Chain A
Amino acid sequence: MNLTLKIWRQENPQAKGRFEKYDVKDISSDASFLEMLDILNEQLIHEGGDPVAFDHDCREGICGACSLYINGRPHGPDTGITVCQMHMRNFRDGSTITIEPWRAKAFPVIKDLMVDRFAFDKIIQAGGYISVNAGSAPDANVIPIPKENAETAMDAAACIGCGACVAACKNASAMLFVSARVSQFAVLPQGKIEAAKRAKSMVAAMDEMGFGNCTNTYACEAECPKNISVSHIARMNREFFIAKVTDSAKK
């Protein structure tokens, strides 16, 4: 396959940035998208240029590092997978591919296609955990958990925190990410204890980091590589409401 790439190049967070055009030739349709970028980078290094910086780690679709906005869609044209798992056969020979970094105030560009997703870490720090006393691990089956709840929690916990939901959202809202984190604990007995505090702290952190609001456009759900459902957003809306109501009741 021969392709024309339009890639966002930006020296550093302060630089202005611009689109650069590159041609790549003889790419196998079985190559992954990131392998195609590797080939481009080798080409650039041979020519004495600066390789394109992009995030990647496991290349197995589980680490959440890769973050490319391709032809108007996070993680490219295929659904339910990360960009590292997407193959070049999703594109036509001779086509032009526009590659941009995630765009959000909360995700500043570090270099080229790499963005800083520290905002997600801040949200997790705010309440994406359960507090347990250290000591020997408790028996796994001491607390009975209905299978449906375990499944729901597991579906939510599938979130890899890549930020595609923010990238896809017209408002750069992090609701799907935050709600998945709230949900994965909220439906389990271990997570219920701190549920109210968690919902409030994580929503506050989300607002503070500069993410937008939810318009229920559901682009997040459509683009999530782990197919996280917007029903988790509704659950978070409920959790937050209950937290607020019970909080004022306590006062």
Chain B
Amino acid sequence: MAAKESIVGSPALRYEGEAKVLGYAKYIDDLHFPQMIHGATVRSKFPRGRITAIRYGEGIPWDEFTIVTWKDIPGENTIVHLLKDHPCLVQEIVNHPEEPIVLLAHPDKALLRKAVDAVTIEYEPLPAVFTIEESEAPDAPVIWNSEAGDSPNVFKTYLMEKGHVEDVWATADYIIEGEYSTGAQEQFYIENNGVIAEYSEQGVTVWGSMQCPYYLHHALQLAFGLPEQKCRVIQVETGGAFGGKEDYPSVIGCHAALLAMKSGRPVKMVYDRMEDMAATTKRHPSRTRHRTAVSKDGKLLGGEIEFAIDGGAYVTLSPVVLSRGTIHAAGPYNWPHLRIRAKAVATNCPPHGAFRGFGAPQSIFGLERHMDLIAKTVGITPEELRRRNFLQPGGTTATGQLIKDPIDLNGMLTRALEESGYHAKRAEFAKTNPTSPIKRGIGFATFMHGAGFTGSGERRLNSLVAIEVDDEGKPEILVSSTEFGQGTNTILCQVAAQTLHISYKDVRIAQPDTDRVPNSGPTVASRTAMIVGKLVEDASHNLLTCMRASGLLEETYTPEQFCHAALAYKQQHGELRATARYQAPDDIFWDDDKYHGDAYPAYAWAVYVAEVAVDTRTYMAEVKNFWALQEVGKVLNPVLAKGQVEGGVAQGIGYAIYEKCVWKDGVMANNQMTNYIMPTSADLPPIHVLFEEVPSIHGPFGAKGIGELPMDGPAPAILNAIEEATGVRFNHCPLLPEDIFDKLANPTLISADSSQLQPAVAGPVFSGTTP
């Protein structure tokens, strides 16, 4: 065997890294095709209404333009995700601001911009709603209805039950209520959405910045009424995505393709920052309500959780975001009895969509803030409360899933608190805070994140990967799993190299092109390392089996012998190719109707600790130090894994205290980088990344998912720390200085809050809901 040292687990250099540091890597806006023209979108400037006329203003040579409306769509007027309610272009009724109505194309980009401004949409306004509360109000206008929806303005509901929660209230020592909410968050990839489309008799081809080529492939088939072999999608280098390029490329991809069809020329559509921020998806705003029965000694007896998310104007991915949020709402705790009611509601905001964490950061924020409220109410420390309720091996999750892996949350909590100096700092801050204008605090959150699609999702995806040996005798991985910074290319090549016992640099990975790569599923849901990685491992084994069966490869071999054998095989058989298809593990069961069973094949577990300082003169909170301890199975590449965690924590810090979408009647009012505040290098604290590795049987070499996990913990850990620092509870993120000021400067708002009450005198029911 050649590979003496392990390739998996080593800091192999990023596969496409050299091209990136040299500036050679070609992103969509760096590509130019002969005869290519540019496309742009005319959008609604009102939230809801019936279009009465479209006027093309004077001073624009309209005969030079390609103009596309819904009438030009050859297939169905839909961007298909889960349902077909989302039109490709508005036919009559506008349901949100920035909704696409007309598409224009022209060779001259600057003239195109003027033309967009010269189109006016006349309309009769219709009543609209913009928040969860407005959408669910009894007298709310019905803005969305469908046979698939459970009731007007509701896209999807789930009911998840364990035990009999109605029995616990009578026996509880404490019943603690709280309401928590989170705002929308912009993915803020530095490269905006963009595609180039071409159309000919052979069919439609779209190149673009995206996560899921086969999603767009499917959308094109419907919009163009074409068979799958006539649609082709190619992912090019993608400058960040974070979920923001999961569902949206289906919209812009179909648009550019329509313009290409009508103009007969390649069409490039690249949004600018203002358009991208205003018109594309963001993280779902949410509201979580907890009612929890607790015993005197701090045991969770049972709970009711109501989880609601604002889906925006169309269903898009809201049901699956809701699903992940619902399952993660219970956290890593033992709940004897639990009922979760969840719903995704319609509003007249642009559709909210996928963003790293996918519903989990929202419900985990609510739970981890609520746990601190429970601790305070019962009169034990946040640490002790969690220790008394952690899931243990042999226990069952809220969906009834048996914990089989030897996880040790108590040990992880001990380690994280030691590494961060938690106890000493708590004592120190208690001493120094009373006399200092800077109030310091330290807080934490404990949580888990499921890897892979929820429930039976992976069975339905039925992913396929292939490995093919090229003319130099080098294996090339063929997957639709995409690289957009997380390290897909690198880790999959590491897995193949290790399995094939050849050098990392001798493995290649194909550009995701639906004409060439099989569908290994979307690049989402922390599934690539574990699910696709395992399939790459399996396919590598199948390749070796095939080569050995032919007698060309011995049991042991050198990389050179592998190469010779591979070329010899190709000469004899024409090609050398092996595949592997997903096979659901035998011991994983999920019931979609009851929402019960094994929600995920594996979970990553984490304890995140945040140290904050709040300046009582400016009401600004700053994170001064951060510790992220996680158990993610085998770490495939320590440099990339650290980078994933640090980047996720940075986004989580932004979510907690910086990044606010300012809405005005469904319009994002701060859709510029100047006004949407993402942390700079001067705003982030040191982020200490710590791993524990408990290998999982479900992933290659024991790996589990890692991508989304770090988004879940920072916001509740930070707000828990801010409560420690100030003694005041804040239940909404993002938490801006103005919000801290509002409460610190208005003691009346604080006194209405149960956390200020002593449990001994407050009676059995505590409401954490603040006005």
Chain B binds chain A: no
